[in-house]
A and B are shown apart, each in its own frame.
Chain A
Amino acid sequence: MEKVHNVYSDEKIYKKLLEDKNVTVDDALDNEMIINMGPQHPATHGVLRIVLRLDGETVLKAVPELGYLHRGYEKMAEDMSFIEFIPHTDRLDYTATLCNNVAYVLAVEKLAGIEAPKRAQWIRMIVAELARIAAHMVAIGTFAMDVGAVTMVMWTFRERERIQEIFDRLAGARFTTSYTRIGGVAADLDEVTIKMIKDFLDSFEPVLKDMDNLVLHNRIFIERLEGIGILSKQDAISLGITGPNLRASGVEYDVRRANPYLFYSEVDFKIPIYAEGDSLARYFVRGDEVRESVKILYQCLDKIPKGEIMANDPKKVLPHKTEIYSRMEELIHDFMLVNFGINPPVGDSFFSAENPKGELGFYIVSNGEGNPWKMKIRSPSFCNLQAISKLCEGAMISDVIAIIGSLDPVMGEADK
């Protein structure tokens, strides 16, 4: 066990925790104590670990420790082709798989200079917004569960299941979809799926109202969140917070508006902002964002044009399966693309998209070969987590749960 102890030592965490205090043997910690929270904890949304130094119930210092789910994505990406990496993007922010798929293929398309057909881009918008609703359902549900409203998670997961049924039909998988392709999408949106989406949207609005009624008339819920974990506008910007957490602090920044990709410039939606910056505001922003997504979805379903779903660029875009089996040319192209990759030009590009958690960016460096020379994933949860130690200082220990829940990190993407 000697070696185990060495490699996985926590020494530096404790050093950081006690950096502003001289601990002597006689008076080890006065009345203070150290509590370890996670990585296995019901309220840390996965495997986040926070080491807290407490004085009674007040948190004096919090040191988050990450890496319990570090899977080495960036290293693996250097070892596989651009097409091969699509399934891996599912598992980044696993509550909104399709948003990641869309962001990743858009990043590769920007680098390689491919443009997907219009219909494919509208479909991408539809699935990304559906995934946003699904992700916020998990966020709201688990957040409410963490602060005591267990019924909420049942209700939100019921709605999420309905979205997953749509994905199941559209992509062939309910959870890890891998639906987008470089230059298009894998399957077309048919009438039955459109009807499923419409049915879902029609019945979703009243359910949202019910959910709000359930928790917002609950004094415990309000009192546990209101004024807890206030993140000022200044801090939010300098800490690099993005997404709903930034908008809850009063900054009107949404990549869909600031730097429109797909056809977000053609649909009408509001960016919900709250000035308070506390946990309750972060709850409200998510609720409002879901309503905006519903609005975007209705517009998308109206505006979606007919046409192709894959770009006509045989050197870079995978041909359709039926063509591979029947034509020689397509077979050769498929073989070349799968084995040697799409060979984008030498250079680097950064693309970011608005994910449910914030701004997901891909920085890809290509040296002209089939696999990326380097791929950096700028994950929103990672940046949002940086706020935890600041928000927790001075809070009560029960507030720590509310703060983590309101920041809504997903460790798959924070740890990469």
Chain B
Amino acid sequence: MGLEAKLTQDGFITTTIDAVVAWARKSSVWPMPMGISCCAIEMIAAADPKYDIARFGSEVMRFTPRQCDLMIVAGTVTYKMAQVVRRIYDQMPEPKWVIAMGACTSSGGMYRSYSVVQGIDQFLPVDVYAAGCPPRPENLLNALITIQEKIGKTRARDFQDIIQPKIEIANN
């Protein structure tokens, strides 16, 4: 490996903290599997032995939003569910990214009806849209790689003016 050769030669590497942090972040993206409908099954398929999402450092699917930095919204988001998706997004620590997996999530897809949100970008900032209904696991992996590229380019100053969101707790 290149790293060992460098370390035995000089004992140090010159780089920026920004680059190291971005590299670490992108190599172990922990997804929050927001599995809502059909796409959730393909998301599990992406984690199973054949497609093996672990190759990309993202096998740690955590069902609690507080440990995650990537939300995969997999499935049709209805108006009733939108409140929940948004609240879970708010609970994730910064910095965070969102994949809109599948046609329904991206644009409402084939569901032009009274109860389906026509695209989650109406209430969430989406980073990558994965096409397909549902996308094949390969496509989800492709979306993950795209996110990793995006994360790799981030620098500390990108997150300087993050305002912590106000979580409104309904008093019922």
Contacts and interface: CB of A to CB of B under 8 A. Distances in A.
Direct contact of A and B (CB under 8 A): yes
A70 interface: yes
Given A88-B110, A157-B49, A70 B84 contact: no
Interface string B35-68: 1111011101100111000000000000100000
B48 A153 contact: yes
A256 interface: no
Nearest to B76: A71
Given A153-B44, A154-B49, A157-B44, A72 B115 contact: yes
A341 to B, nearest CB: 18
B171 to A, nearest CB: 8
Given A158-B49, A175-B134, A72 B44 contact: no
Nearest to A49: B84
B12 interface: no
6 contacts: A8-B80, A47-B81, A69-B75, A76-B112, A87-B110, A157-B49
Nearest to A97: B38
Interface string A102-135: 0000000000000000000000000000000000
A174 interface: yes
Q: Chain B interface mostly helix, strand, loop or mixed?
A: loop
Contacts of B38: 90-91, 94, 175-176, 412
Interface of B: 34-38, 40-42, 44-45, 48-50, 63, 75-76, 78, 80-81, 83-84, 88, 110-116, 133-134, 136, 168, 170, 172
Contact of A71 (B35, B45, B113): B113
B80 A67 contact: yes
Contact of B172 (A14, A88, A157): A14
Contacts of A10: 172
A39 B168 contact: no
A5 B136 contact: no
Given A72-B114, A412-B38, A39 B81 contact: yes
Contacts of B114: 72, 75
B84 A68 contact: yes
B76 A41 contact: no
A47 B83 contact: no
A303 B96 CA distance: 56
Contacts of B170: 5
B128 to A, nearest CB: 20
Interface in A159-176: 160-161, 164, 174-176
A154 B59 CA distance: 13
A121 to B, nearest CB: 27
A169 to B, nearest CB: 14
Contact of B133 (A76, A154, A176): A176
Which of A46, A71, A94, A411 gathers the greatest number of chain B CB atoms within 10 Å?
Answer: A71
A40 interface: yes
B36 A47 contact: yes
Nearest to A10: B172
A4 B83 contact: yes
B68 to A, nearest CB: 12
B110 A161 contact: no
A19 interface: no
A260 interface: no
Given A46-B36, A46-B40, A175-B38, A71 B111 contact: yes
Given A5-B170, A10-B172, A75-B113, A175 B41 contact: yes
A318 interface: no
Nearest to B62: A42
A76 B49 contact: no
A68 B49 CA distance: 30
Given A42-B63, A47-B36, A158 B48 contact: yes
A5 B116 CA distance: 19
Contact of B37 (A8, A40, A69): A69
A41 B78 CA distance: 17
A69 B76 contact: yes
Interface string A122-150: 00000000000000001000000000000
Interface string A54-93: 0000000000000111111001100000000001101100
Most buried by A among B48, B63, B170: B48
B115 A1 contact: no
Contacts of A39: 81, 84
A213 interface: no
A9 B172 CA distance: 8
A151 to B, nearest CB: 11
A71 B37 CA distance: 11
Nearest to B50: A161
Contacts of B88: 40
